[in-house]
Every structure is written in structure tokens, then in C-alpha cells.
Chains A and B, each alone.
Chain A
């Protein structure tokens, strides 16, 4: 935890003040992967859609803390992009496919705050700090049968985000292949 704070502090001091548009992460070079994936998620939400989402979620579950937490999380966000792929077999993508994204994250303004690498998989988390606050957040999670890229533009509290895993999606469920087991 201390190490993360130290890295973040250094990133604050070192980050140059480039225009926000130049610092926005563009997820490119992954177009062919969806056809190879057994499951994929392709989500792009701009500030307009995020505002609508926040309004809907607050209204959908007025009495729940979760709805309010989600609304607060979404309040500071300007854009969310997720590309996630699950493959039946390994070797469906190459590390080189991620280079255009990593190249952007090596530019001034972005700092890698968490990195975990093994022979088979890697997890990298980047933040962009502006005026002492997180203004951008990116994850590259590369596993043998799963690849996930997340780019979040805007202000977000990472501790609040990490608590989100228990939240479900309101509204009528879409049938999935897994059944409920007790």
C-alpha cells in the first residue's frame, strides 16, 4: 500500500500538463479478437450516456445504497471503455497486439501503479493524475484465455471501485447458460 502511495506521489510530481484529449486512451488493434472469442464485452460510454446511466440507476433502485454508490462512482466519470474477450484456447492473441495501447500508457501523464507479471499472464494498472486526483485509469489484464482492457476517463475513487464486485445489475435478467445452484 505504501509503495502504491509513493509511486502515485512520484507520478503527481512527474506528470506534465498535457491537454486531456491527448491523454485519453484509445483502445485499438483488437478488432479481430471478437470473432475468435467465445464471449466478449464491448462497452463504450461517453459522458452523455454515463449521465443517463447514473440517472437510470438512481431511479431503478431508489432505496438501495448500491444505487447511490453507483451514482456517486459514475458522477465523476467522463468515459468508460471496456474490451473483454474470453477464448476457448490459448494463443488467440499476441502480446504485440497490446503494444499500441501500452505505447500510449508510456506517454507522460500515465503511471503504472500495479504490475504483476508471470510467464503466462500479466496484470497492469495505470493511472493518470491531475491536480492530485485520479483523472484516468487503465487496466490491461492478459491471461492465457482471457484478455481485458479497461479505460476510464474521469475522476474515480479506486477504493470505492474495488468494493463494487458484489453489486448486481438491476432489471429483468437475460438468460445465461449457468443455472443457480444452492
Chain B
């Protein structure tokens, strides 16, 4: 009997309850699905809802783009800084 083997056996993965994945997807989808119950002024509400969803989607896409652009910008500037400093060091070493 070995403690590490016993730990592996004790901590072996197990699945959550049946239907877990479906419940996750249902929750995720319910945050995106448009409302089913329509108030009296259907067209006005539908247009307003579409605008909100559209703007939200645009905002989220923009957020993702901004995050990606942020990461790229930092990486680009870091590469530039690295090469700038490296070139300066080489010049200083040569002069000394």
C-alpha cells in the first residue's frame, strides 16, 4: 500500500450529476435568447430589444478586440524596448 497511489485512487475524477452539461448550455443560452413573452407594443419592444442585443454584442466584440489589441500592443512595445536597450548596450560596450 502506497500513500500516493491511495491518494490517486481517492481523488480520482468523477462526473457531476446527470444532465450537467445540458444545464450549463441551457443557462448559457438563456442569457442570449430573446424574450418569449411579448408586451402589448410588440414592435417597439422588439426593436428596442434588438438594439440592446445588437449594442451588447457589438460591445462584447469590441471588448474582445480591445483585449487582443491590448495584449498585442504590450508585446510589440516590449519587443521594441528589448531591441532598443540591446542596441544601446552594444554601442556602450563598443565605446568602452
Direct interface between A and B, CB < 8 A:
yes
Residue from B76, B81, B86, B87 within 8 A of A80 (CB atoms): B76
| B79–A161 CB distance below 8 A | no
Contact B72 A161 (CB under 8 A): no
Please tell me if the beta carbons of B79 and A56 are within 8 angstroms of each other in the complex: no
Q: How many positions in chain B have a CB within 8 Å of any CB in the partner chain?
A: 28
Q: Flag if A125 contacts B75 (CB, 8 Å).
A: no
In the complex, how many angstroms separate the beta carbon of B5 from the nearest chain A beta carbon?
25
Chain B residues lying within 8 Å of A170, measured Cβ to Cβ, are 70-71, 74
- A148 CB–B CB distance under 8 Å: yes
Q: Tell whether A70 pairs with B77 under 8 Å between CB atoms, given A45-B69, A165-B85.
A: yes
Q: How many interface residues does A have (CB within 8 Å)?
A: 41
Q: Determine if A169 is an interface residue (Cβ-Cβ < 8 Å).
A: yes
Whole-angstrom CA separation of A41 from B82 in the bound complex:
14
In the bound complex, do residue B76 and residue A150 qualify as a contact, i.e. CB atoms below 8 Å apart? yes
Asked whether any CB of chain B lies closer than 8 Å to the CB of A52, the reply is yes
Chain B residue, CB-CB nearest to A48: B69
Residues of A within 8 A of B82 (CB): 165
List residues of B whose CB falls within 8 A of some A CB: 62-63, 65-67, 69-88, 90-91, 94
Report 8 cross-chain contacts, Cβ distance below 8 Å, ordered by A residue: A43-B72, A56-B66, A60-B67, A82-B76, A114-B88, A116-B94, A141-B83, A152-B80
Taking A52-B66, A82-B79 as known contacts, 9 extra A-B pairs with beta carbons closer than 8 A to each other, sorted by chain A number, are A49-B65, A84-B79, A114-B91, A141-B83, A141-B86, A150-B83, A152-B80, A165-B78, A169-B74
